Homo-oligomer: A and B are copies of this chain.
């Protein structure tokens, strides 16, 4: 039986995704304390058994404390553990990922850096591997769920929705087929008499929609 002194360090880390100028980006924060103080890293912290009812709760608490971000789509990714990933000793991190719509971004702590996923520098600990796994999960799950919609505001247009799917999956989608599928899947609903504002460039206003359910919906076919 392992006594408490033999227990691993248990932390949670969260990969935060957002959109930046039409590109997929991630939010990183300079570490406040050693190890790796000052270096950009995933937002993480210790699981506190006296406060947290689970790891999702721990991740939610730490996100709020360290970044001010709340109300995000947040999901467990997987755990990363081993003797060498943290200089403090054998540690286990339950990695999560979250999607940050632009409106929430505005409320984030000022020290948060927003970097396109292609321009992320080498990260401390095994955060590179965690980020890669989160990206793979985001891309994989986007093809058959409403996951990318959580990068958008609550109401959005079909061109916006198509664009975010294209950004996340990294490939252009057929417009006609996209509309057909979204329609058949009944995952979004029209806001009656609500249209996006027209601008000098975006001339014709588009119909506004919202998710039929404000929760992740999976579907069998692929976008």
A residues touching B (Cβ–Cβ < 8 Å)? 1-2, 4-10, 46-50, 53-55, 76, 78-79, 81-83, 89-90, 92, 94
CB distance from A82 to the nearest CB of B (A): 5
Pick the residue among B1, B5, B53, B76 that contacts A83 (CB under 8 A): B53
Q: Which 4 A-B residue pairings sit nearest by Cβ, starting from the closest?
A: A49-B90, A7-B7, A2-B46, A54-B82
* Given A7-B7, A49-B90, A55-B79: 12 more A-B contacts, CB < 8 Å: A1-B46, A2-B9, A4-B7, A6-B48, A6-B50, A8-B47, A10-B92, A49-B89, A53-B83, A55-B81, A78-B78, A92-B94
Given that A4-B5, A89-B49 are known contacts, is A94 also in contact with B76, CB under 8 Å in the complex? no
Residues in B neighbouring A90, C-beta threshold 8 A? 49
CB distance from A130 to the nearest CB of B (A): 13
In the complex, A78→B83 CA distance in Å?
A: 20
Given that A92-B55, A94-B92 are known contacts, is A6 also in contact with B49, CB under 8 Å in the complex? yes
Residues in B neighbouring A2, C-beta threshold 8 A? 9, 46-48
Residues in B neighbouring A50, C-beta threshold 8 A? 6
Residues in B neighbouring A10, C-beta threshold 8 A? 7-8, 10, 92
